[in-house]
Amino acid sequence: MIITEPFNFIPWFIDMTSFEDFYISCPCCSSWLIGKKAKADSVNQSVLYSDGMIINDLIPANPQQIVLCPACGFLFWMQKDACHNSIPESDKLTAYSWPNWRFFGCNLLDNHGKIALINHYWKAIELLQPLSVQQEIIVRKSLLWAYNDLYRDANTWRFVDVVRGKINFFYWIISRKFNRKGRALFESERRHFEANIHRLIELLERDPNSEPAVIAELYRELGEFEKAMLHLSKIVRRTHYINLLNTHIQLRDKSVFKVAG
């Protein structure tokens, strides 16, 4: 299949029958919002990244936990027990579809949409106070992934893929331009990106259940390779991920990388 569509993240060939609907009601205005979740037995491909982000069939596997109601603008935590499998047909007619509230309605096919998502998470940290430690970790991890999304797929396609006929030449040009712009935006945001990681490390180091590998990865993304190595040395079991993490620390590489998939 030769890919001719402009960006990596367009789910144009996703089989939507692999997903099922769920419904949540806004606690402020009672509007119904329709969400989609992957059916557990239908995931064809999972991709894991070093920052913990998992993509199943091109859709992030980590469920969205904060919702901005598209009807009234109320920001709320999604409670598991507030999710319904069905609602009356009459309510479905006026329910808000997934693109209206997913990722706060931001268009992630555009780099500015990705920046808008980042700004939403910063705003959520400000508006949802007081946050418990676990809640703050959830928001700040989402923020970390949103920053890394600015260049996460930048190396998906290389010129050799054009030569091999895997992708269309014009797609490759557009994709490269898009990725370069994303990387430039990421660099321009680095100060805020690092401030978020510093706070995330502070929170995780307080939690006795935190995995040293997660903290090692955060230090690596900060470029603090000695500290990253120190945390990595606490891990006895050598997995594929730990070995890769070790390699990237040795290379003094602070970019997010694909672990599997």
Q: Report the residue from 28, 127, 195, 260 that binds Zn ion according to the rule CB under 5 A.
A: 28
Q: Report the residue from 7, 9, 23, 74 that binds Zn ion according to the rule CB under 5 A.
A: 74
CB 140, CB 125: distance < 8 Å:
yes
Count Cα atoms within 13 angstroms, Cβ side, for 30.
2
Taking the C-alpha atoms of residue 78 and residue 24, their distance in angstroms, rounded to an integer, is: 8
Taking the C-alpha atoms of residue 69 and residue 104, their distance in angstroms, rounded to an integer, is: 8
Task: Confirm or reject binding of residue 69 to Zn ion (CB under 5 A).
Answer: yes
Task: Confirm or reject binding of residue 29 to Zn ion (CB under 5 A).
Answer: yes
- The residue range among 2-10, 21-29, 52-60, 105-113 that interacts with Zn ion, by the rule CB under 5 A, is 21-29
Closer Cβ to Zn ion, 69 or 150, answer by number: 69
CB 259, CB 50: distance < 8 Å:
yes
- Six token digits for residue 171: 């797609």
Task: Confirm or reject binding of residue 24 to Zn ion (CB under 5 A).
Answer: no
CB 57, CB 252: distance < 8 Å:
no
CB 142, CB 121: distance < 8 Å:
yes
Cα 96 to chain centroid, rounded: 22
Closer Cβ to Zn ion, 30 or 46, answer by number: 30
Closer Cβ to Zn ion, 72 or 127, answer by number: 72
Q: Report the residue from 59, 61, 71, 185 that binds Zn ion according to the rule CB under 5 A.
A: 71
Closer Cβ to Zn ion, 53 or 69, answer by number: 69
Secondary structure letter of residue 167 according to DSSP:
B
- The residue range among 10-18, 31-39, 176-184, 203-211 that interacts with Zn ion, by the rule CB under 5 A, is 31-39
Q: Report the residue from 3, 26, 68, 106 that binds Zn ion according to the rule CB under 5 A.
A: 26
Tell me how many residues contact Zn ion (CB under 5 A).
8
Listed residue (64, 71, 68, 67) closest to 31, CA to CA: 71
- The residue range among 26-34, 55-63, 80-88, 240-248 that interacts with Zn ion, by the rule CB under 5 A, is 26-34
Residues making contact with Zn ion (CB under 5 A): 26, 28-29, 31, 69, 71-72, 74
